[in-house]
Amino acid sequence: MSRDTDDPTTWSAGEIAEKIASGAVSAAEVTEACIRRINQVNPSLNAMVVPLFDRARVDAAAVDRARSRGESLGPLAGVPLTVKESFDVAGTPSTLGLSSRARHRAANDDCHVARLRSSGAILLGKTNVPQLLMGNESDNPVYGRTNNPWNTERAAGGSSGGEAALVAAGGSALGLGSDIGGSVRLPAHACGIHAIKPTSGRLTMASDAPVFPGQEAIVVQPGVMARHVGDLRLGLQCLCAPDQIFVAELPSSSPPRVDQMRIAFYTDNGVISVAPAIARAVREVAAALANCGARVEEWQPPEAAEAWTAYLGIMLADGCAGARRMAEGSRLQPRLRHMFLCGRFPRWLLAGVASPVLRMLGQRNLARDIGAMGHVSAEEYCRLVQWRADYRQRFLDSLSRGGFDAIVCPPDALPALLHGGSEFLASALSYPAIYNLLGMPAGAVAVTTVRPDEETRRAAGGDRVERMAIECERNSAGLPVGVQVAARHWREDIVLNVMGVIEDQFSGSPGYPRRPPI
């Protein structure tokens, strides 16, 4: 995003903190600028669903008083922050889009919200999510639908979609989301911003609403979202402060420079092919990193299709029983009703009967995904978890044979979805979800926009998923496109270094997604 030296809503979080600390601007001025911006864009976006403007003004005034007294300020002092609706904030609802939770009020701030606020961030409010955080578009019966700031006929992504839309539009400088299958990376890609998911287990989600109770094989992680890569590092450093239980500090040693790295890249995982603009973005990033001195090589992740079905199998092993319990008494959106219906059948029936019938009817993608759904026995679940552990070792062994420090690949198969388009396009999530299955840190970084001559090149046919993908790709010119960067466990520093170089290389290019037209 281009920066207006007179407009705080275009500044990075780091710039805001520096200007407030120096006295060049007050926290109150920055807060009011962001509130004005939210009031300007939110009628079109519906991204902010729980505004906390009065509290924000009080907190901003406290930062300004502390500075006037010469007190030491936190690293985020005065930085405008928004958080995903599912994170608890004292006195506010965390409904997850469920009408049965409309009267919920949190007693305390979530530990990560508290950590960012104790670092000086000014919390402006909470942003929209999909119902039960399940889906790649942020729409629910409680708050309604969030629109993409680049095209209001498109979804902002999910499940941190309201967060991505508001950050992209300049409503806040820093966002807190969460990610169990791409939920910060998918909307960052769709809205033209950046995001990072830490290594699984680096940060606790002990205070999070239990959408997947007892799920330890694939764990949700908080994620940071921003318009500038440097702000991801700043936010993650604040979240990873070592005075919390279950928090691992970021690496203290200096990571290798990009010109000392060997980087793998791929454009197709064998599950579903990506849109032309996304493949182009990955290849252009690979070339740019090579020009910066990195040794870059095309590579194929092992068994990616099997990894996708294992991800679905583990996540849906209880047949959505836990999610159904949470949703009792709430009106459900169609995509959840259909998922819950499939979950009521045993997997052997879906895999042995429904999947072959769908394949016979030419529905290859639906056949694969349906065959991985349904509830399983404890023995089968343990087998899936063991496959995941073995696969992680095979994946890391493949990286080691190539000597790779990082991976560059698509963050999604498609640009921002059309509203209502996510139900039949779940396989597009296979690109980010593999790194949740593996537990590796991964980020999404904005690179370019879709060109008019590259909207779709798919062959029309009978497969419904492919037809829906064609519909999504049509009229997508001008939508943002990002790439995904991943690295070995606990090496968020490498992910952020590579993302920073990509931002430096592409942020000045004509196609780079700057401020959206909203």
Cα 277–chain centre separation: 19
Taking the C-alpha atoms of residue 257 and residue 359, their distance in angstroms, rounded to an integer, is 47
- The mean pLDDT value for 81-95 works out to 97
Residues 327-338: pLDDT tens digits? 999 999 999 999
Would you report the helix, strand and coil content of the chain in percent, each value rounded to 5? 45, 15, 45
Quick one: average pLDDT of 254-283?
96
Tokens of residue 381, six digits:
């679940």
Report CA-CA distances (Å) from 193 to 13, 264, 398: 14, 23, 30
Ranges in the chain annotated CATH 3.90.1300.10: 8-246+262-307+381-506
Q: Which H/E stretch holds residue 308? A: helix 304-315
* CA atoms within 13 Å, Cβ hemisphere of 326: 21
Query: Mind giving me the DSSP string for 385-420?
Result: HHHHHHHHHHHHHHHHHHT-SEEEE-S-SSSSPBTT
Question: What's the pLDDT at 212?
Answer: 77
Average pLDDT over residues 231-241: 93
pLDDT category of residue 141 using cuts at 50, 70 and 90? very high
pLDDT at 1: 45
Q: Which are the catalytic amino acids?
A: 84, 159, 183
Predicted confidence band at 83 (pLDDT cuts at 50, 70, 90)? very high
Confidence bin at 274 (pLDDT 50/70/90) = very high
Q: What is the pLDDT of residues 487-497, one digit of tens each?
A: 999 999 999 99
Question: Is a pLDDT exceeding 70 seen at residue 425?
Answer: yes
Distance of CA 129 to the CA centre of its chain: 12
Q: Predicted confidence band at 208 (pLDDT cuts at 50, 70, 90)? A: low
Query: What is the reported pLDDT for 204?
Result: 86
415 in Cβ contact with 479 (< 8 Å):
yes
pLDDT in tens, 433-446: 999 999 999 999 99
Strand pairing category for 221-226 and 174-179? antiparallel
pTM of the model: 0.96
Q: What is the pLDDT of residue 205?
A: 80
The structure tokens listed for 1 are 């995003």
Burial profile 83-108: b = 16 or more Cβ within 10 angstroms, e = fewer: bbbbbbbeebbbbbbbbebeeeebee
Average pLDDT over the chain, rounded to an integer? 95
At 251 the pLDDT is 67
Burial category of 305 from C-beta neighbours within 10 Å (exposed 0-12, middle 13-18, buried 19 and up): middle
CATH superfamily of 8-246+262-307+381-506: Amidase signature (AS) domain (3.90.1300.10)
At residue 207, the pLDDT reads 63
